[in-house]
């Protein structure tokens, strides 16, 4: 398995934009939180690597998203299971790899949702998700013009794949983002 340092170096080889780096670090932290929440703490590092590397190809190869990733990940030493998990988050959009494992289902559900939560947090006086409530996120979710690039359909499908109500996914995802918000800020400072 790739170490976290190797994975971060690989990510940075193909991603320079602070927006993309922040998203990768956020999804990494969210996936680590969900590993514990789903009772798979012993594999939390694996879950986190999947989150960190999930958009490795998006910045340089947006038209080949999830299709270029296997090549980049193999060159970096990633195993086939990690590659499969990374590519499954684009199922139905840019990948035909269906999310079947719990980490894959969670990634599919939270990728778009972390973007929506992040955008909603920036609108708050605190600029943070620490004081965000599910009710305010639901309002932003219903407003299709707000963070229009975050697919509500994918988020709904993600909740269904997990067998969760949308509110449950929202509540857990907000908690997951709270758990890593300070760490992501600290890492972004180091990367700049």
pLDDT tens readout for residues 101-156: 999 999 999 999 999 999 999 999 999 999 999 999 999 999 999 999 999 999 99
pLDDT tens readout for residues 11-66: 999 999 999 999 999 999 999 999 999 999 999 999 999 999 999 999 999 999 99
pTM exceeding 0.95: yes
All domains in the chain, ordered by first residue: 4-191 (1.10.3210)
Sign of the Cα torsion 100, 63, 26, 44 reads positive
Helix (H, G, I), strand (E, B) or coil at 37: helix
pLDDT score at 58 = 97
For residue 1, pLDDT over 90 is answered with no
For residue 99, pLDDT over 90 is answered with yes
pLDDT score at 169 = 98
pLDDT score at 177 = 98
When pLDDT is cut at 50, 70 and 90, the band that residue 192 belongs to is confident
When pLDDT is cut at 50, 70 and 90, the band that residue 167 belongs to is very high
SS (H, E, C) 51-95: HHHCCCCCCCCHHHCCCCHHHHHHHCCCCHHHHHHHHHCCECCCE
């Amino acid at each position: 398995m790739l170490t976290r340092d190797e994975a971060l170096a690989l990510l940075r080889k193909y991603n320079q934009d602070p927006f993309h780096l922040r998203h990768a670090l956020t999804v990494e932290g969210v996936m680590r939180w969900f590993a514990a929440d789903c009772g798979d703490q012993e594999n939390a590092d694996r879950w986190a690597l999947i989150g960190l590397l999930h958009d490795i190809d998006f910045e340089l190869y947006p038209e080949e998203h999830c299709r270029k990733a296997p090549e980049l990940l193999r060159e970096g030493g990633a195993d086939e299971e990690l590659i499969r998990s990374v590519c499954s988050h684009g199922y139905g959009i840019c990948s035909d790899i269906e999310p079947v494992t719990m980490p894959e289902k969670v990634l599919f559900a939270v990728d778009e949702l972390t973007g929506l939560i992040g955008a909603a947090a920036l609108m708050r006086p605190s600029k943070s998700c620490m004081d965000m409530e599910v009710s305010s996120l639901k309002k932003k979710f219903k407003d299709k013009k707000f963070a229009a690039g975050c697919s509500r359909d994918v988020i709904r499908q993600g909740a269904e794949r997990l067998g969760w109500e949308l509110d449950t996914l929202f509540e857990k995802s907000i908690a997951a983002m709270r758990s890593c918000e300070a760490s992501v800020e600290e890492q972004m400072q180091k990367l700049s």
